[in-house]
Amino acid sequence: MKKRSLCISAGAALAVAAALAGCGKTYYFDGRVLPPSGLVNRVVVAIQNPGALAKGSLEILDAYYDIRSGYTGTPATYSVAGYGGALPVTIQNMPEEQFGAIYGAGDGSFTLADYATEKTTGTVSGLNGLSSSIFITRNKLWVFAASQASHVLTIINEAASSSTALSLPNVYRVSVNPGGSVALAFAQNSNYAYYPRQLTAAQSTSYSGGPTTWPKAAVDCEPMNAPAWCLFQMQSPDSVDSTGNYYGAPLVFDRPVKAVFSGDGSTAYILNCGPECGGNNSSVSIVPLAPMIFLEGQQSGLLPCNLPANGPCPNSNAAPMVNISVPGGSSNALVDSSTMYVVGQARPEGQTLFGGNLTVVNLTTNTAGAAVPISDGTPGATSRMLEADDNTLWIGMTGCTTGVRYATNPASGYGCLTMYNTSTNQVVLLEPYIGDATGIAAVTGLHKIYTAEGGQVYIYSTVDGSSINNEYVTVTGTASDVAYMDATSDADNTVY
């Protein structure tokens, strides 16, 4: 009976689509062109090893009817054509710009997928080995990649087809603000943070004599004989040198792992992982980004202090950053206006293992609330966070059976996915264990989310957290990530 109803509904939708096409309309909202599949609620799934002879694939699911095929069974599946990366692990979802960027951990490929045509448009060249963290800006002009194995931060200028590798031992994470004007790099087991800056022609000439001619805060400038970029350590803006670079005492963090940003992209909230990453105290550091803008054309605010157009000089008496203590752990976060939801791991009193926590931080008063227990996870690992319909926040963890909850109560059945209500500030439920939660896609407007858990695709209602039948969306191979291609906002993205 369910199948018959599905076919009738799908048939009606097809008739409506045909009628619209007959009226000359080939777009569905916000000027977006109706894609070749004809689907308007698409979830793309990154699948590893979909077949014996295949590397990876990007399968498209109909998230309105929760099926993988056409309503008549034809075609049997939809996919993004042309993808051939090995072991795809993440999808950087940019629905406003109608593209996605898929990283393949098996071959180091970074592939761009055009959502309008449902085809790949090529791979990014110039990367240095496998990337432990990688992002592309919304305008597709810049790619930033951290390669922990190669110990370099790579900057790719797509417009100029150039690639620059800046040396930073153990660099393993990179964060980019929404406007794509600031990139921050973090090294494992370090208490410092770094940022790249593109140099002016005059600076390139001035710094061409090697490290002794570099600015005080520079850790590497490349290429050596005529540097185009320098990588700077974040320092307090106590002074400014003759070429406009701030320098002072190094900003000391506590095992920083990531930065999330204010809505206007002008402020970074740096997450100090603390104890779960081998440090001392977990917290959030609030840092203004003006000195770290990487494009030389946007550096007018960094002119030497002796130029009257520059305005006030750096104030040595001003606090360079504000720290907010987050005892529950701080390894991932999501900013919603003046509220920040911080996720991390902390040891409960008397325990040696870590337990997962969510802490709500008020960015108006810079105060943190009490930690709320959620799914456990691997300390310091990248979790997934996403807001969805019905005032819900969903948090996905990996390694949730290695935490204190499973160790003290293995029969609890608690898994790696948490549903949190942002209106009541309460955990609604912890989903049963079915494997690591490696991807979340909020199908906004339809009151559901899609997840990649334990290598398979699952669906949940945002109304009450109940499971929705996933029989017709299961995939062949290992599902590693999911993304809602037709979301209204780039905020529908669990890894950016």
- Sequence length of the chain is 496
pLDDT at 121: 97
pLDDT at 283: 98
Judge contact between 79 and 47, C-beta under 8 A: no
pLDDT at 3: 40
Residue 184 lies in a domain: yes
pLDDT band, very low/low/confident/very high, at 321 (cuts 50, 70, 90) = confident
**Position 22 pLDDT exceeds 60:** no
Q: Which of 70-74, 122-126, 287-291, 360-364 has the lowest mean pLDDT?
A: 287-291
Which residues, 6 or more positions from 287, have their beta carbon under 8 angstroms from its beta carbon? 234, 251, 267, 268, 269, 270, 320, 321
Higher pLDDT, 495 or 363: 363
pLDDT at 30: 77
Within 10 A of 177 (CB to CB), how many other CB atoms are there? 22
pTM listed for this prediction = 0.90
pLDDT band, very low/low/confident/very high, at 311 (cuts 50, 70, 90) = very low
Mean pLDDT confidence for 345-358: 94
Question: How many domains, in total, are found in the chain?
Answer: 1
**Position 247 pLDDT exceeds 90:** no
Residue 2 lies in a domain: no
pLDDT at 328: 97
Residue 366 lies in a domain: yes
Residue 22 lies in a domain: no
**Position 26 pLDDT exceeds 80:** no
Higher pLDDT, 246 or 425: 425
**Position 60 pLDDT exceeds 50:** yes
pLDDT band, very low/low/confident/very high, at 240 (cuts 50, 70, 90) = low
Cα–chain center distance at 86:
20
pLDDT at 239: 61
**Position 130 pLDDT exceeds 60:** yes
pLDDT at 215: 87
pLDDT at 265: 83
Where do we find the tokens 């049997």?
Answer: 76
Residue 308 lies in a domain: no
What percentage of the chain has pLDDT greater than the value 70? 87
CATH of the domain at 361: 2.130.10.10
**Position 410 pLDDT exceeds 90:** no
Q: Using one digit for the tens of pLDDT, what is the confidence trace for 156-175?
A: 999 999 999 999 999 999 99
Q: Which of 52-61, 132-141, 254-263, 471-480 has the lowest mean pLDDT?
A: 52-61
- Distances in Å between the Cα of 332 and the Cα atoms of 285, 425, 449 are 13, 18, 20
State which amino acid sits at residue 135.
F
Within 10 A of 317 (CB to CB), how many other CB atoms are there? 5
pLDDT at 357: 97
Higher pLDDT, 29 or 197: 197
Residue 30 lies in a domain: no
**Position 123 pLDDT exceeds 50:** yes
Mean pLDDT confidence for 398-411: 91
Q: Which of 1-15, 82-96, 115-129 has the lowest mean pLDDT?
A: 1-15
- 359 class by beta-carbon count within 10 Å (0-12 exposed, 13-18 middle, 19+ buried): buried
Query: What are the backbone dihedrals phi and psi of residue 172, each rounded to the nearest 5 degrees, phi first?
Result: -140, -10
What percentage of the chain has pLDDT greater than the value 90? 74
pLDDT at 294: 83
- 75 class by beta-carbon count within 10 Å (0-12 exposed, 13-18 middle, 19+ buried): exposed
* Mean per-residue pLDDT of the chain: 88
Mean pLDDT confidence for 70-82: 93
| Euclidean distance between CA atoms 217 and 250, whole angstroms | 8
pLDDT band, very low/low/confident/very high, at 315 (cuts 50, 70, 90) = very low
Mean pLDDT confidence for 338-362: 96
Judge contact between 107 and 88, C-beta under 8 A: no
Domain with 405 in it? 35-192+251-300+319-484
pLDDT band, very low/low/confident/very high, at 11 (cuts 50, 70, 90) = very low
Q: Which of 169-178, 228-237, 293-302 has the lowest mean pLDDT?
A: 293-302
